[in-house]
Every structure is written in C-alpha cells, then in structure tokens.
Amino acid sequence: MNYYFHVPFCRSKCGYCAFYSLPEPSPELIDSYLDRLERTFFPEAPAETIYIGGGTPTFLSAPQLERLLKLIHERLAPPAGTEISCEANPETLDREKVALLRRHITRISLGVQSFHPIVRRNIGRKCSDEALDRALELIGDADFPHWNMDLIFALPGQTPEAFFTDAQWAIEAGADHLSCYALTAEENAALELPEDDDLAAEMMPGIARFMEEQGFSRYEVSNFARPGAECRHNCNVWRGGLLAGVGPGACGFDGTDRWRNPLLEPWLRGEAPERDAISPAARLNEIFAVNLRTAAGWTEALWRQVPKADAWSARRAIFRAAAASFDPSWFRISDERLALTGKGMMFWNSVAGEIIAHGT
C-alpha cells in the first residue's frame, strides 16, 4: 500500500496553486487535525511508500511536525529502505525542523518555483532570497538521501534563459530530482495568471536536452531524476497501485474505486469520503492512460500487476486505435512495450482523452 498524508495548511496561498489548503490556520486548528489522525489512523496494510504533502507540512511548528512524523512511524513501522517523502517550503524551514525531517524521512521536496525574486513575486510566491538561501544551506548540511526541487517555467516575466539558470542553480545546490512544470491556469488558483502554451511547448524539448546533459533522465512528463532518484511513490500511483489517502481532501484507490476525503471541517466531524465508481473497463483505461505520462510506459509484466488487468493484447489494440488518430511519431509500439515518445508526452492530454473514450 502507498500512503499519502495531506497536511492542508500553509503560511499563505500562492497565486498559481489550486491544491486544497488553508492559509494561516490557528495552532488550535492544527492540533485538532493531529488529534483526529491519532484517534482514527490505524493502517490495514504495510507501507510500500509514504508521501507527506499539502499544503505545506513544514508550516507546522516543530512540536506539531514531530507529532505527525512519530504517528506515521509508530502506526506504519516502515522497514528500512521505505521511501518516505515530505514536501517543504523554504520560508517554513529552520534547523530544528530539518533535523526532525532528516531523522524520519528519506526524501525532501522543496517548493522553490524560481530563484528569481521578481518571478516569485509575480506568481504570489512569498519567499525571500534570504529564506531560500537558508533552506538550501540547511538541506545541504543535512545530506538527505534524495531531494527534489519544484520549478515552474513559462511564467509571466520569466525568460527561457532565466529558467535554465534556475535549473542550473537547483542542480548545483545538490538536488537529484527536478520537477519542472509549465504554468497552468487552474480554476481554484488565487491569481488569473496568463498561460503561454506555445512558449511551454517550445521550451520543453530544450529542457529535456539540458537535463540529459546534466545526467538527469526525463522519466515522466514533468519529472527528471538522476539514476535511482525517481520518486517511487509517484511511479506506483501512476501505474495504478493501491493508495490510502489520509487527511482532509486526500484521495485514495482501493483497486476498484477512487475516493476523496471531505474537506477539513466535515473531515473533523468524521464524514465519509466521496467515491468515484466507474465501470471496470473505464477504470482500466484510466490507469492505462495515466502511466503513459512516464517515459517507460507499459510492459506486459507491469500491466499484469494492475488490479483486475485485462489481456495485454487488448491494451495493444486500444493503444494502436488511439495512435491512428495522431502523429505516428508520438508513439512507441512493440510487442514488449507501449509508450509515448518525448514528443508524444507533450501531447499526453490528447492521447489520454482518446484512450479513456474507449471505456465510455
């Protein structure tokens, strides 16, 4: 089982962010969240991976963060080698919190977005250069086994050259994984930021080449890693692995249905999650489409691990049918593997829509 813990609290709401979070919560509200986790979280299966996201988990005070981390370790008892990731924002880190994280997790994910203060200001990212420099120093001194940095490109006021400088600085800081996202206009984001799809499409091939030159492989549409530094949690979820979502707004997958927990207040009252029940054929098409975001795509061995998987020959037929509607150079089709090329991954949304349509 893969576990995701959602910590829905932030110092402030960034302009580009549409994830569920509550800015500037009271300490009492955070304590109520932790109280409910301690009362109700009793896992039924061992952990293959653990991911603590948000929101900003490191917005919690050091004692609150320690409560959360101890709860996870006491209830799940992850064996040595378990990937345990935690998201962090630079402005919420200090030496005590970094030391706590280093004792309890194996992978930190830092939300930087840009090293350029003007660009951060344009997207409502409230983080000073001083806070960013301090966080990088603390993380570097802690020597985490793996760490990711989030960067956004095609931002308002950001030149392509500025983004490549960001990427170079991230690598020099020691990150062995970079998540490089194109700016996307989100319905629930605080700011209406202009999207430049043409610029994003023009930049991605150059980003992929640059990262390859630096020793990073593109293993998913937006993710690059040094060998062995890929996020195992995300890879498992993309392939249809079982997911237990813990906390308000967290999502899960039980092998048949997806579900989402209610938001904070109803979650605190114990209200039931909302379930997304669709036909088995539609669910398989959804799982098949999602993992096509990865460079590896599908092999027959991987597909057999999907709950209630149909025949590999049926997958090849669906993939060939979808490919007939698009540029052949987007697709890699063989008896052994079904995947999108680097160019095809840029058009994943279109291909996924065609594949999912086969299940309706």
Angle at alpha carbon of residue 193, lines to 220 and 224, rounded to 5° = 15
* Band of pLDDT at residue 186, cut at 50, 70 and 90: low
CA-nearest of 146, 175, 150 to 89 is: 150
Beta carbons of 132 and 169 less than 8 angstroms apart: no
What pLDDT was estimated at residue 360?
57
* Band of pLDDT at residue 144, cut at 50, 70 and 90: very high
Angle at alpha carbon of residue 110, lines to 223 and 113, rounded to 5° = 70
Q: What's the whole-number mean pLDDT along residues 227-237? A: 98
Phi, psi of 355 (to 5 degrees): -70, -45
What pLDDT was estimated at residue 238?
97
What pLDDT was estimated at residue 60?
98
| Tens-place pLDDT, residues 19-29 | 788 889 999 99
pLDDT(187) > 70: no
Q: What's the whole-number mean pLDDT along residues 83-92? A: 97
Residues of the chain with CATH 1.10.10: 278-360
What pLDDT was estimated at residue 195?
65
CATH code of the domain made up of 278-360: 1.10.10
Across the chain, what does the average pLDDT equal? Answer: 93
| Tens-place pLDDT, residues 294-324 | 999 999 999 999 989 999 999 999 999 999 9
| The architecture CATH gives domain 2-236 | Alpha-Beta Barrel (3.20)
CA-nearest of 192, 349, 247 to 34 is: 247
Q: What's the whole-number mean pLDDT along residues 160-166? A: 94
What pLDDT was estimated at residue 21?
84
What pLDDT was estimated at residue 347?
93
The secondary structure of 286-344 as a DSSP string is: HHHHHGGGBSS-EEHHHHHTSTT---HHHHHHHHHHHHTTS-GGGEEE-SSEEEE-HHH
pLDDT(193) > 90: no
pLDDT(18) > 90: no
What pLDDT was estimated at residue 306?
94
* Band of pLDDT at residue 126, cut at 50, 70 and 90: confident
Higher pLDDT, 268 or 14: 268
pLDDT(185) > 70: no
pLDDT(197) > 90: no
Q: First and final CA of the chain: distance in angstroms?
A: 28
Higher pLDDT, 22 or 285: 285
What pLDDT was estimated at residue 15?
63
Residues of the chain with CATH 3.20.20.70: 2-236
pLDDT(30) > 80: yes
CA-nearest of 1, 80, 78, 70 to 37 is: 70
pTM: 0.94
* Band of pLDDT at residue 189, cut at 50, 70 and 90: low
* Residue 259, beta-bridge partner list: 252, 275
CA-nearest of 298, 300, 305, 288 to 355 is: 288
